[in-house]
Amino acid sequence: MNKKNRRGVFKAIAACTLSAAMLLSGGCGSRGGQGGPGGPNAQQGGTICVITKQHLSFWDDVKKGAEDAGEEFGYDIVYSEATNDNDYSSQEAAIYDAIKKKAKAIVIAPNGKTELNKAFEDAEKAGIKIININSRADYEGVASFIRCSDYESGSVAARNAITLMQVKDPELAGLKNIAIIPSTAATSEERVAGFIDSFTSQASDAIAPIDMTETNEKKVKEARDAKIDAYKKGVIKGAECSKEGAAKEEAMKILQNNQGNISVMFGTNTNTTLGICEAIEELELENEVVVVGFNSDEKELAYIKTHVLDGTVIQNPYMMGYVGVRYAKRAITGDSVPSRMDTGAVFVNAENINDDFVQLMIYPDGKPDAAENTTGGEG
């Protein structure tokens, strides 16, 4: 897909999403101010700095969205990325570079909740508007927070894992333990919580449904609640991993220590998902363990096609970048922006991977040549 067509499709999606966000938020988040560089009469143009977490294809798509919006609205986009999702020092340096460049706004996916607050404060004093994307910064001066809900995304993964299991076992009679390999990213905690809450609740509904005609309904409900508690206690949570190799080692350890007793494994980002898939493939457990993960790295997509990975939750990074710059422009010119916006998530498996909308989310620029390096990731 060429740049013009790509932008046209995503602009149409963005227009609908933005309208819904304004309605849900009541239209009031933050205003750009009434004078100087942030006033309603501010001249359009200038620099917007976009700062992301690391060098992965997820952030490449954020960059594409930001650059398309910058071109559309007349702003120069200065893009920078950290070395990994624990590196906030380089992000801090990028913020001070934005101050030095007299940027009008910063669009940032922070690697820490509070570590950047002093730099944010200095940027705000310099009249720079701050738009927060992907993972939340605990800083009051943020004009808008744009992300895919991590809790709900974890729930999406869990609901689909249950559905996949019920294809062969409708009442989940053979359900065993579930195991999770979390990442070190700030987004991981909510994804894990969403997965556990949704999985245990839905699994218990399937195993011990409440019959409203049952005279002993209270006991049925108590049994169901007890089952939920038992599942939550039985969740095997591995150590946090930032790299694919470490995630594979953790997955191998869990699978070997619990032989035959794992039904589902969940990875909260690209590297943990790939690590799980490598362990499952090596141990030849493709037909025994349902694997769900996060993001759309080419290696993840290949694992879907070989049925090692049963499905993955994908976000819309292009939308995060595009809307981040669009909201930055609104804040700069003094217009209201919603305090929050959810860009949504989609579950991708072998059945829908070739659907047009899924392909557009995975490949905003069109599918790359097989020889092209498309290493992916997330925030």
Q: Say what the pLDDT of residue 146 is.
A: 95
**CA gap 266, 213 in Å, rounded:** 36
326 pLDDT band, cuts 50/70/90, is very high
Q: Quick one: CA torsion of 284, 377, 359, 79, rounded to 10 degrees?
A: -170
The model's pTM is 0.76
Q: What is the pLDDT of residues 253-309, one digit of tens each?
A: 999 999 999 999 999 999 999 999 999 999 999 999 999 999 988 899 999 999 999
**Cα maximum dimension of the chain:** 72
**CA gap 198, 182 in Å, rounded:** 17
* Residues 13, 360 contacting (CB under 8 angstroms): no
| Domains of the chain (ranges, CATH numbers) | 3-148+316-344 (3.40.50.2300), 150-314 (3.40.50.2300)
Q: Please enumerate in sequence order all residues whose Cβ is within 8 A of that of 165, keeping only pairs 6 or more positions apart, or say none.
A: 172, 175, 263, 264, 290
> CA 87, 318, 247 angle in degrees (round to 5)?
45
Average pLDDT over every residue of 128-135: 95
SS3 190: helix
Residue 61, pLDDT above cutoff 80: yes
Please provide the DSSP assignment of 285-310 as one string. Answer: -TTT-EEEEES--HHHHHHHHTTSS-
Q: What is the pLDDT of residues 134-168, one digit of tens each?
A: 989 999 999 999 998 999 999 999 999 999 999 88
